[in-house]
Amino acid sequence: MPLAWGTNVRFGSEADVRYRTSEAPHAWAIFAHCFTCGKDSLAATRTTRALGERGVGVLRFDFAGLGASQGKFGDSTFAADVADLVAAGQAMKAAGKEPSLLIGHSLGGAASLMAAGMMPNIRAVVTIGAPYDLKHVLHQFDPAALKEIETDGEAEVHLVGRHFFVRKDLIDALRENDLRSHIASLKRPLLVMHAPGDDTVYVENASRIFAAAKHPKSFVSLDDTDHLLTQRRDADYVANLITAWSSRYLPMKSDTN
């Protein structure tokens, strides 16, 4: 699990210092990247920078088979992603950097909603373009490839300009997981961010996440941004909103003195 911190503090031999802050962080967060993306996506790096500049350290890491991570993407499952998030939080706690905030982009948002219930010290959760119905992710697959996976147990699929081998276990996991009960029992402040014109994960998903959640909860429409936040101004806008919203819920500097 290669790591990257948005602070001036190293974490283990695999950590990668990206951005520097003027002082030690007073709070910590984890960023869970989108389906088929990685810890160095624009959304992840810009959010890390914005939070780091305000004294919040952020851990970014690659899920299995993506970026610099070991393993095969086709062998991964949604449950494994959730377990990775929980394990990352435990490792941070052991290092004296216990996370208070979970931020998840797309499928990483769904994983964050599920993982938060297993991480009692998480104070707030943010989702960006997250699916409510995980089966929605399958819309990104070519129907012929899905049929081949069903028949042969695996197939090569083309996603966001890249080729991946996907096994039936991943497809089955996306079909079987139900987020509703996890969202309803979250009991943490939630910020839901979604673009109305998102043609990868439709905005109806955000409406259902928001409706299932209990207060305090907030919804921000991301106007004409695309699902992957490929425009720098859009990534910056999201990063600044997360920074402002989360400041109400994260430990203050005085709490760590």
Tens digit of each residue's pLDDT (9 = 90 or more) over 91-107: 999 989 999 999 999 88
Residue 129 placed within a domain:
yes
Residue 224 placed within a domain:
yes
* Structural domain for 118, as ranges: 3-138+178-250
Residue 70 placed within a domain:
yes
Calculate the average pLDDT of the chain.
80
- Check residue 19 and give its pLDDT: 39
- Check residue 69 and give its pLDDT: 55
- Tally of residues, the chain: 257
CA dist 189 → 29, 182, 217, 246 (Å): 14, 14, 6, 9
Residue 13 pLDDT greater than 70, yes or no:
no
Residue 165 placed within a domain:
no
Instruction: List strand residue ranges (DSSP E) for 21-161, in order.
Output: 27-32, 56-61, 101-105, 124-128, 154-159
Residue 255 placed within a domain:
no
Residue 250 to residue 52: CA distance in whole angstroms = 13
Torsion of CA 35, 41, 44, 46, to 10 degrees: -150
Greatest mean pLDDT range, 49-53, 170-174, 195-199: 195-199
The pLDDT tens digits of the residues spanning 147-165 come to 887 887 777 776 555 666 6
SS3 for 123? coil
- The residue-averaged pLDDT of 157-182 equals 70
Greatest mean pLDDT range, 51-55, 178-182, 191-195: 191-195
pTM of the model: 0.79
Residue 186 to residue 190: CA distance in whole angstroms = 9
Residue 48 placed within a domain:
yes
